[in-house]
Chain A
Amino acid sequence: MTKRSTYEEVMERKSEIMKKSVGLDYSEFETKGIGFDYDKMMEETGYSLNEVKKVQASTGVGNTPLLELQNITKLARKLAPEGKGARIFLKDEASNPSGSYKARRAAVSVHNAKKLGYKGVIAATSGNYGAAVASQAAMLGLDCIIVQECYDSEGKGQPEIIEKARKCEAYGAEVLQLSVGPELFYQFLLLLEETGYFNASLYTPFGIAGIETLGYEIAEQMLARENKLPDVVIATNAGGGNLTGTARGLLKAGADDVKIYGASVNLKGLHMASDKQFNKKSFTTGHTGFGIPFATWPDRSDVPRSAARALRYMDRYVTVNQGEVFYTTEVLAQLEGMERGPAGNVSLAAAISIAQELDEDKIIVVQETEYTGAGKHIQPQLTFAKENGIDIKIGNPEEEVPGESIILPEHPSMIKARDLDLNKLRKSYVKNCIKNTGIKNPSKEDIEFLAVDTKTNTEFIEKVLGEI
């Protein structure tokens, strides 16, 4: 057997491995300085929205129902001041073949892998994306390997992640499960090198182009049904792709005035790479532990430049607490007759609160649901939380401490979307750009790039740069 490469050696070969495994030369999109040509990169996918639609239709992906949640709307109105309580709609993405919107992302990536002649695909994911890639690979006849971060050092695994491993295997994928740590990326690179398979990263232009149809469908379905566009679309935000793709799709449908809100579960204080804290969290995605780092430095992913850039499209970013999402998941089942989530219901919890700020004639779309199953359900997740010493209480969610307690709101009026300071996140992103590129004096082009990439203007960026 040849000598195994060390962590450092593999990291040095990173860009070379990436180039081979994505079939894209990212250096083509680089410009001098901080910025890069995002639009050119997105066009480079070679797939127009119509082509993406065709690709997805060929494997039964997309065209999911848009449902009005009449009883949850009633509930929000009951809690709201007179005349307030926007109508809440839900895009039932769980009806995609693999049970989540991730099928959209996977469809384009796996199609592209096949088109380019790759024999198989690999994805590093502990989430629904694994099942999505495995499902698409099964349909297109490609081999599939999913690499998961699954267990702590005592071999204890998150039930939600174990369920996703089962689902990937059901679709014929090999599932490589790892213990906690960012070196998952090391193992992932070694596998790409060994197999020569396609890197079905969540963050390539293909993956994000796949989500554009979701935003586009929302606009189309809403116009057909209500003869108007929604006022707000809320996306659960982790790596930023869901929000980015949906926003781009809405823009492509001409829905320029729709406000795009991001929502994440508040996991403040928990370190994502910590062995001891790994099983203290009751959400493995849709949380601030991904949402904030990825918003303030998107290029931290498994590709050189991420196509998922949440700050570029986000109008507002809110958090909700774990107990509020569990409560909402139960409400969705009990009032609307739909068992979904829980992680996908983060934006629904936020919608219950935000609806109460808006007039009754306004429309909010919660843009995804995900399948529910053994392990991936509020009961096993709360059982697991209890086994890991988390205190489950009914009370005021304001008092919830991530990693210590989960507080189910004693009344739905306590469900609150809490605003994150978007300007603070934008500043943090600009600072990270300066720190990570080492460019102390950004050019005019850099400033323009940063303005677009943060949905602000050059005055804002100049002011931030002055403060650094």
Chain B
Amino acid sequence: MTIGKKGDWVRIYRIILTPEERAPQVPEDTKKVSLEMWDKGFLLEDEANIGDEVEVETYIGRKVKGKLVEINPYYTHDYGKCITELLYIGRQTRELIKEETLND
């Protein structure tokens, strides 16, 4: 979906501070980039395309402006890939306490 309609749940993006505006104490690598922000809300424009400057009403009712980046945003974080390096731990420690039980 690339066109959002009024009332759609969307994600917006905005630059809060440009590199020149950043705090004096930030490290060099951080100072080279902008401070960016992402927020979500219900679209207030009648219609908007991804990339358009829009205004949203956040879940608690605040009005926030930014660039439309996602419509019906959802989470994709998961339980990761198989980390084979972890597979020995359960067997190893179970074996260790099994011996302990026998010694009792």
Contact = CB atoms under 8 A, between A and B. Distances in A.
Q: Do A and B interact with each other, yes or no?
A: yes
A96 B98 CA distance: 33
Interface of A: 6-7, 71, 74-75, 77-78, 120, 143-145, 150-151, 153, 159, 162-163, 166, 169, 172-183, 186-187, 194-195, 271, 273-276, 326-327, 330-331, 333-335, 374-375, 377-384, 386, 392-394, 408, 411-412
Contacts, number: 165
B81 A120 contact: no
Contacts of B58: 174
A75 B101 CA distance: 10
B46 interface: no
Nearest to B78: A374
Interface in B35-74: 35-41, 58-62
A166 B75 contact: yes
A327 B87 CA distance: 10
Contact of A382 (B21, B37, B83, B99): B83
Nearest to B84: A392
B5 interface: no
B35 A181 contact: yes
29 contacts: A78-B100, A151-B38, A159-B77, A162-B77, A166-B75, A173-B60, A175-B40, A177-B39, A178-B36, A181-B23, A181-B26, A182-B25, A183-B16, A183-B22, A183-B23, A186-B16, A186-B17, A273-B27, A275-B30, A275-B32, A330-B90, A333-B90, A334-B90, A335-B93, A382-B80, A383-B83, A392-B83, A408-B85, A408-B89
Interface of B: 16-17, 21-23, 25-27, 29-30, 32-41, 58-62, 75, 77-83, 85-86, 88-90, 92-94, 96-97, 99-101
B27 A78 contact: no
Give the 8 A-B residue pairs with the shortest CB-CB distance, closest first.
Answer: A383-B80, A380-B80, A334-B90, A375-B77, A379-B80, A153-B33, A143-B60, A330-B89
Contact of A75 (B30, B39, B60, B93): B93
A384 B77 CA distance: 10
A179 B79 contact: no
Contact of B80 (A6, A143, A384): A384
A180 B30 contact: yes
B39 A74 contact: no
A153 B82 CA distance: 27
Given A176-B37, A183-B26, 15 more contacts: A143-B61, A151-B38, A169-B59, A172-B59, A174-B41, A178-B37, A179-B33, A181-B22, A181-B35, A183-B23, A186-B16, A187-B35, A330-B86, A334-B89, A411-B92
